[in-house]
Amino acid sequence: MKKILAVGVFAGLGLLVACQPTAQQAGKAEKAEAPKAEKMEAKKEKKKLSKTEKFKIALANQDKWQKACSNPMQLVPQGIDIETFKKEMLATVKFPPGGPVGKDVKRGEKLFGDPKKGGRSRRGNCYACHCGDPNIIACGNIGPSLRGYAKRGIDPKDTYIRIYNSWAINPCSTMPRLGYHGVLTPEEIADIVAYMHDPNSPLNR
């Protein structure tokens, strides 16, 4: 009788030990699933936002400069002196150690966004708004043509500033503030400037 009882006890302990890893694994699985479920819920919440709601969120997150330019005319800032506006925008411009003109003209051309030569830059994409290389007929007209740019006598520093933060020159300009928003690095902008001012670039032939 004692032997039977002992065997029963040992058998019960064996089952208990055998079941523990399974129970632990199940617990871990539940914990792993919890964050996934939370992420799924968060995604659902994001998808539920309408375009109007998203637009309101974007408006609420504007810096004071963007707010000043968010007016129906979008020509001059509202509520801020223009000279003060330009001065403070200019203060945001950061130059690379080598100055406003880079050394890599080829990279500048690629960043400028020459679709026929493999540029298709997602960051510069200048052809979306400007014309450049005369051989590239697919170009935008929102901004002025940049053909023959080097012949206009424009200071390369001004070109750099305009690309980095156009509002330092033209308050509330529709041109993207590529350096200000970190779309392009100072070094990348300098290479674009080098391309635009190089007399041998397709832009200036």
Which CATH superfamily groups domain 74-204? Cytochrome c-like domain (1.10.760.10)
For residue 173, is pLDDT > 80?
yes
For residue 30, is pLDDT > 60?
no
Q: How confident is the model at residue 5 (pLDDT cuts 50, 70, 90)?
A: very low
Tens of pLDDT, residue by residue over 6-26, are 444 444 444 344 445 454 555
What mean pLDDT, rounded, does the chain reach? Answer: 80
Q: How confident is the model at residue 2 (pLDDT cuts 50, 70, 90)?
A: very low
Residue 3 confidence (pLDDT): 46
Q: Can you tell me the distance from the alpha carbon of 178 to that of 166, in angstroms, rounded to the nearest whole number?
A: 9
Lowest mean pLDDT among 18-22, 50-54, 131-135: 18-22
Q: Is the pTM of this model over 0.85?
A: no
Lowest mean pLDDT among 42-46, 141-145, 195-199, 201-205: 42-46
Cα four-point dihedral sign 111, 112, 113, 114: negative
Tens of pLDDT, residue by residue over 69-117, are 887 665 678 888 999 999 999 999 999 999 999 999 999 998 998 555 5
Lowest mean pLDDT among 61-70, 78-87, 175-184: 61-70
111 Cβ neighbours under 8 A, 6+ residues apart: 119, 121, 123, 124, 184, 188, 191, 192, 195
Helix 186-197 vs helix 105-112: crossing angle, to nearest 10: 100
Q: Can you tell me the distance from the alpha carbon of 119 to that of 96, in angstroms, rounded to the nearest whole number?
A: 23
Domain residue ranges in the chain = 2-48, 74-204
Contact of 99 with 183, CB cutoff 8 Å? no
Distance set, CA 55 to CA 60, 71, 106 (Å): 9, 15, 38
Residue 39 confidence (pLDDT): 63
